[in-house]
Structure 1
């Protein structure tokens, strides 16, 4: 397991992030690869749940506020937003329009890496594309309609013939119920955290007291 994944899991545990927040953090991580379509699809489905929607958007805005070496947080958050605007709840686009200035300011994002490469250009171009889309209502409706049809077809293919017809409309109550159950369990218990801490301490070859001190520093 990559060290970045271990660090992210530890922060998830320490900060007691919900299932939705964990998914957004994974999709917008600093790992040198993009978020998977399956993960973004899961997040899009969760935006139809009122509680999850608030958690998802709060985490995305937080990622968009990152700077410098964390440019991947910003770029991936914009990529995720683009996907959610087209396949998630309509509230995603509405909130983005209300906060469009936060996206517009990213057209001036700057970051040159140690090799002299302008990584900020990825963020600048993506922010411009999103702003143009959000300001063009007809284009937004068209791209959203097409994206939803594609997403539904892919879902039907992946679930097999026995679940054909398990479309977006009928699936939302099930997704919301499933999320509510997971949301209730996501808080966990002190005992479960202690067991997880022992496991990670063993993996990292650290004495448990020193490991606990490390977790405190991560906060």
Structure 2
């Protein structure tokens, strides 16, 4: 038991040292925080930054690699799995359509989470994972629902964040007027 704790602690130190020496990018930092096993949420601004990055091919690769890693995490790190699923749902609604295509194509990697089970302190922590997985699979399987959710997300961005249509359009909405950047 003590050896496992020591090994886990050394792994954390090694990861932190690698982040410092390898100059973690802003996207990598956002992904690490958005899919952490910590018991706190993720700011919407961070999720929108990740969604914007999904339109860039190289950054898309970084995002999808982190998604698949997060979904294969150990059950004891259920928060990371759940946060990764939250990110997937957000990206399906707000990100590049490549995300949708890849999640659809590789849904066999997501589907096993429908049976996710983990108890902590006598409480079923797997229920939230199962529910989020079900919601994502329904979303990617129903084109009409998906279109509706993406339209709602776009309207929400435009209304509350001043982010028009595609994230990379170079315009900003101020007091109801579109200003070109």
Does structure 1 retain, via aligned residues, the 8 Å contact 2:157–2:164?
no
- Superposed, 1:35-114 pairs within 5 Å as 35-113=42-120
CA radius of gyration, larger in: 1
Relative to structure 1, is the Cα distance of residues 54 and 173 closer, same or farther in structure 2, using a 3 angstrom cutoff? farther
Does structure 1 retain, via aligned residues, the 8 Å contact 2:114–2:129?
yes
Secondary structure, aligned partner of 2:124: coil
Could you tell me which residue of structure 2 aligns to residue 22 of structure 1? 29
Query: Which piece of structure 1 moves more, 71-80 or 14-23?
Result: 14-23
Structure 1 Cα separation of the partners of residues 137 and 110 of structure 2: 7
Tell me, yes or no, if structure 1 residue 167 matches structure 2 residue 164: yes
Structure 2 Cα separation of the partners of residues 14 and 117 of structure 1: 40
Task: Specify which structure has the bigger relative contact order, considering alpha-carbon pairs within 8 angstroms and separated by 6 or more residues.
Answer: 1
TM-fit CA distance, 1:121: 1.1
Relative to structure 1, is the Cα distance of residues 154 and 98 closer, same or farther in structure 2, using a 3 angstrom cutoff? same
- Is there any run of 5+ residues in structure 2 with no aligned partner, and where? 1-11, 171-181
Runs of 4+ that moved beyond 6 A: none
Comparing both structures, which one devotes a greater share of its residues to helix?
A: 1
Secondary structure, aligned partner of 1:32: coil
RMSD: 2.0
Relative to structure 1, is the Cα distance of residues 69 and 15 closer, same or farther in structure 2, using a 3 angstrom cutoff? farther
Determine which of 118, 125, 147 is the counterpart of 2:153: 147
- Is there any run of 5+ residues in structure 1 with no aligned partner, and where? 1-5, 157-165, 175-219
Give deviations 1:20-55, integer Å, cap 9, x for gaps.
222111101111112111110111111111111110
Comparing both structures, which one devotes a greater share of its residues to strand?
A: 2
| TM-score, length basis structure 2 | 0.79
Structure 2 Cα separation of the partners of residues 172 and 98 of structure 1: 26
Does structure 2 retain, via aligned residues, the 8 Å contact 1:107–1:128?
yes
Relative to structure 1, is the Cα distance of residues 57 and 129 closer, same or farther in structure 2, using a 3 angstrom cutoff? same
Could you tell me which residue of structure 2 aligns to residue 128 of structure 1? 134
| TM-score, length basis structure 1 | 0.66
Secondary structure, aligned partner of 1:172: coil
